[in-house]
C-alpha cells in the first residue's frame, strides 16, 4: 500500500490490485476553529469526524448504487475509517461541482446584491476549480470547454448527475426533517471507457444542512441522521 496523496481531510493510498484506499482523518475544513465546508484550510480537528464522515459517505454511496447512479465506491470499513474505491482521473487538476437549494455561503457573498439570505434556488449547479492559491474560482461552461477541461457534452452529463445525486441526498435528509441547503461533489473518469462517475465523499463536511432553520454541524448531522 503506497501513500499517493495527502489531502486536507483524507489520505489516498494506491492498493496492489490497482484500486485506491481513502483514509478519512479527523480534520475538517474551516478557519480559526470554525467549520466551513467551503474553506480551503483545515480549521479544526474533531475526535470521530473521520468515522462520522465515512458512515454518511457509505450510506449515500450505497443508496446511489441501489439507484444505478455511477460512483467510484467499492467498500467501506468503518472501524478503520477507510473506503476502497476505483481510481479516477479528475478533470484538469480537479473540479468541485456545487448544487444549491438555498442561497448561503459563497453564493450569497458573491451575489448578495441580488440574492437574499436562504432564498430558494432550484437545484442551481455551479462548478469551481480546485485551486487553493486562487481560492477555488467559479468557472463557466464556456470557459471549461475553451480551456480543454470539459467538453460541453461532458458538462451536461456532470450537471445532470449533480442534480440527480443532490436530490437523492435532499430526499433522504428530508425523511429526518433535515433540509439540504447546498452540497459539493467531485467527479472523475473511471475505467477504459472513461465513464464519468461521482468520486470522493458525501459527508457533513461537504454540505450545509439545517433543521428548523438551525445549521447542523457535520458531527451532529451524522448522529441526527443515522
Ligand atoms: N476515486 C478517486 N480517484 C482519484 N482521486 C480521488 C478519488 N476519490 C477522491 N479522490 C481525491 O482524493 C483526495 C482526497 O483528499 P481530501 O479530500 O483530503 O482532499 P482535499 O484536501 O479536500 O482536496 P485537495 O485535493 O485540494 O487536497 C482529493 O484530492 C480527491 O479529489
Ligand atoms: Mg476533499
Domain boundaries defined on the chain: 2-88, 89-225
Q: pLDDT (tens digit, 9 = 90+) per residue, 33-53?
A: 888 888 889 988 989 999 999
Q: What does the pLDDT read at residue 36?
A: 87
Span from the CA of 201 to the centroid of ligand 1 (angstroms): 9
CB-based contact 49:108 (threshold 8 Å): no
Q: What does the pLDDT read at residue 149?
A: 98
Q: What is the mean pLDDT of residues 182-208?
A: 97
Q: pLDDT (tens digit, 9 = 90+) per residue, 24-36?
A: 999 988 998 888 8
Same fold? 2-88, 89-225? no
Cβ < 6 A, ligand 1 pocket: 5, 7-10, 12, 20, 72, 85-88, 90, 94, 130, 186, 188, 199-200
- What percentage of the chain reaches a pLDDT higher than 90? 92
**Beta strand residue intervals within 25-148, DSSP E:** 27-31, 34-35, 42-45, 73-77, 82-85, 88-90, 95-102, 120-129, 138-139
Q: At what angle do helices 152-175 and 49-66 cross, to 10 degrees?
A: 110
CATH second-level architecture of 89-225? Answer: 2-Layer Sandwich (3.30)
Which ligand is closest in space to the CA of residue 128? 1
Q: Looking at ligand 1, which atom is closest to the CA of residue 11?
A: 15
The confidence band for 116, taking pLDDT boundaries of 50, 70 and 90, is very high
**Beta strand residue intervals within 86-178, DSSP E:** 88-90, 95-102, 120-129, 138-139
The residue whose grid cell reads 441526527 is 224
Determine the Cα–Cα distance for residues 10 and 21; give it in Å rounded to an integer.
Answer: 10
Q: What is the mean pLDDT of residues 162-177?
A: 98
Buried b (16+ CB within 10 A) or exposed e, 30-58: beeeebbbbbbeebeeeeebbbbbbbbbb
Q: What is the mean pLDDT of residues 193-215?
A: 96
Q: What does the pLDDT read at residue 161?
A: 98
What CATH class is the domain 2-88?
A: alpha beta
Amino acid at each position: 500500500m503506497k501513500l499517493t496523496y495527502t489531502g486536507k481531510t483524507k489520505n489516498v493510498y494506491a492498493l496492489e490490485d490497482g484500486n485506491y484506499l481513502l483514509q478519512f482523518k479527523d480534520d475538517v475544513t474551516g478557519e480559526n476553529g470554525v467549520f466551513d465546508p467551503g474553506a480551503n484550510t483545515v480549521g479544526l480537528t474533531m475526535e470521530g469526524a473521520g468515522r462520522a464522515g465515512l458512515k454518511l459517505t457509505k450510506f449515500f454511496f450505497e443508496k446511489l448504487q441501489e439507484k444505478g447512479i455511477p460512483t467510484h465506491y467499492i467498500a467501506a470499513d468503518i472501524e478503520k475509517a477507510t473506503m476502497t474505491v476505483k481510481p479516477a482521473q479528475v478533470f484538469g487538476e480537479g473540479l468541485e461541482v456545487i448544487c444549491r437549494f438555498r442561497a448561503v455561503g459563497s453564493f450569497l457573498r458573491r451575489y448578495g446584491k441580488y440574492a437574499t439570505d436562504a432564498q430558494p434556488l432550484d437545484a442551481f449547479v455551479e462548478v469551481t476549480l480546485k485551486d487553493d492559491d486562487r481560492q477555488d474560482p467559479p468557472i463557466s461552461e464556456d470557459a471549461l470547454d475553451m480551456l480543454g477541461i470539459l467538453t460541453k457534452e461532458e458538462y451536461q452529463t456532470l450537471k445532470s448527475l449533480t442534480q440527480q445525486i443532490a436530490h437523492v441526498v435532499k430526499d433522504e435528509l428530508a425523511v429526518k426533517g433535515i433540509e439540504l441547503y447546498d452540497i459539493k461533489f467531485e467527479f472523475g473518469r473511471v475505467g477504459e471507457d472513461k465513464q464519468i462517475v461521482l468520486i470522493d465523499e458525501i459527508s457533513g463536511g461537504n454540505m450545509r444542512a439545517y433543521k428548523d432553520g438551525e445549521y447542523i454541524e457535520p458531527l451532529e448531522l451524522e448522529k441526527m441522521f443515522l
